Amino acid sequence: MPVFEVFNKEGKKVDEVTLSAEVFGGEVNQHVLWLVVKAQLAARRAGTHKTKNRREVSGGGKKPFRQKGTGGARQGSRRAPHFVGGGVAFGTTPRSYVQGVNKKVRRVGLISALSLRASEKKLVLLDDIELPEIKTRNMAELVKIFGAKKALVVESKENQKVVLSTRNLEKHKWLAPEAVNVYDILNHDTLIMKASTAKAIEARLTAPVR
């Protein structure tokens, strides 16, 4: 069972906590990380792109000119793709980009991401993340103490001082524990959370998959 140091907001070690090797010391499965991130990014696509085909554009109610005797190619409608204002041939239509990833694979991906940050010593556990007031500078100073260039702060949404103090930071991001995901963990170099939050995530990821 790996043992992690617990720090206070000044960056001083105040305690130690033992976390599950299954969650924070497991094998990093690169392929599953790729699968889950690809599915997450695909799901973010709106899929609302749309072009009009020849039956949807206006005009073209009659034959442009007679069939024979003009010296040009025969034409049946001004709505054909090669006319200006005509419909688009094989154009884009609304679609869903969602890629199916089952629960077990998503769990393996999240465990891999957490284990990766833990192995890199980029998992920072705090005894508390209570700020004196809502101020961006307070969170910026906290993150700076632990040398994070791009931190993901995981804390309950009830802690509004942390939530509101983080949202104006350009490179850092806040997430609720239940919203922790593979893409955001990999997209930030440091993961910051309370030791109790890490325990809660551990319990969730070691529970049977339903």
* pLDDT one-digit tens code per residue, 89-127: 999 999 999 998 999 999 999 999 999 999 999 999 999
54 pLDDT more than 80:
yes
Classify residue 199 as exposed, middle or buried by CB count within 10 Å of its CB (0-12, 13-18, 19+).
middle
Here the CATH number for the domain that contains residue 132 is 3.40.1370.10
Q: How many domains does the chain contain in total?
A: 1
For residues 104 and 209, the answer to whether their CB atoms sit within 8 Å is yes
Q: How many CA atoms lie within 13 A of 67 on its CB side?
A: 0
Could you tell me the pTM of the whole model? 0.84
Asked if residue 210 has pLDDT above 80, the reply is: no
Tell whether 54 is covered by a domain. no
Kindly state the tokens that stand for 203.
Answer: 């319990």
Model pLDDT, residue 196: 95
- Tell whether the model's pLDDT for residue 18 goes beyond 90: yes
Q: Please choose, from the candidates 86, 90, 106, the residue with its C-alpha nearest in 3D space to the C-alpha of residue 32.
A: 106
Structural domain including 178 reads: 3-27+101-206
Cα(118)–Cα(156) distance, integer angstroms: 21
Mean pLDDT of the chain: 94
Q: Is residue 77 included in any domain, yes or no?
A: no
Residue 95 located in a structural domain? no
Tell me which residue of 159, 168, 85 sits closest to 129, measured CA to CA. 159
* Torsion angle defined by CA atoms of residues 11, 17, 21 and 23, in that order, rounded to the nearest 10 degrees: -70
Q: What is the DSSP letter of 80?
A: S
149 is a domain residue: yes
The answer as to whether 93 is a domain residue is no
